[in-house]
């Protein structure tokens, strides 16, 4: 069993005002950037798995994909990864798995879809407010990673 992680980021998107993520205005200027991460556990050829990601999950014109497993963005304060809880209905995941049927060269054993939000701010801004306003505890699981790569929540 092999595993790849593909982080997809929009080529034409830039940092946005993080006030769009929260219910009440922030006290300091904060920016954010959003990406998608697809984590595939599979059997077969890595090139076939990467080709499937590039063909099915990435828009050649508008997206860039990184297979490194490292954050695609630099100079962030922290990032929040969130995904659907196991067992929750995830239509995007089901559509991806359905589109994979019949693809030769590899077989998907498991698939995780993760939304990542990078936060760019001064150290006084913490993750708690973003987690509270972005993540729904009824359907999401999440983690917060600081700029040193340590999971802090």
In the predicted model, what is the mean pLDDT of residues 69-88?
93
pLDDT range class, residue 25, cuts 50, 70, 90: very high
pLDDT range class, residue 138, cuts 50, 70, 90: very high
Write down the pLDDT at residue 4: 95
- In DSSP terms, 113 is beta-bridged to 38
pLDDT at position 77 over 90: yes
The CA-CA-CA angle for residues 119, 53, 57, to 5°, reads 65
Write down the pLDDT at residue 42: 93
Q: Maximum CA pair distance of the chain?
A: 52
E strand or H helix at 34: strand 31-44
Write down the pLDDT at residue 16: 96
- What are the pLDDT digits (tens) for 84-131? 998 888 888 999 988 887 777 789 999 999 999 999 999 889 999 999
Sequence ranges of the domains in the chain: 2-146
- What are the pLDDT digits (tens) for 32-72? 999 999 999 999 999 999 999 999 999 999 999 999 999 99
């Amino acid at each position: 069993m092999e595993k790849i992680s593909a982080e997809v980021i929009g080529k034409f998107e830039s940092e946005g005002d993080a006030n769009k993520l929260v219910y009440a205005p922030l006290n300091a200027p904060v920016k954010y950037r959003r990406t998608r991460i697809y984590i595939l556990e599979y059997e077969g050829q890595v090139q076939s798995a990467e080709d499937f990601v590039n063909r099915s999950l990435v828009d050649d014109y508008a997206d860039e994909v990184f297979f490194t497993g490292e954050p695609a963005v630099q100079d962030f304060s922290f990032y929040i990864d969130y995904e659907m809880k196991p067992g929750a209905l995830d239509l995007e995941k089901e559509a991806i798995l359905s589109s994979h049927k019949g693809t030769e060269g590899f077989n998907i054993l498991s698939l995780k879809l993760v939304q990542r939000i990078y936060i760019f701010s001064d150290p006084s801004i913490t993750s708690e407010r973003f987690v509270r306003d972005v993540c729904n505890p009824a359907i999401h699981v999440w983690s917060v990673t600081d700029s040193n790569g340590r999971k802090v929540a």
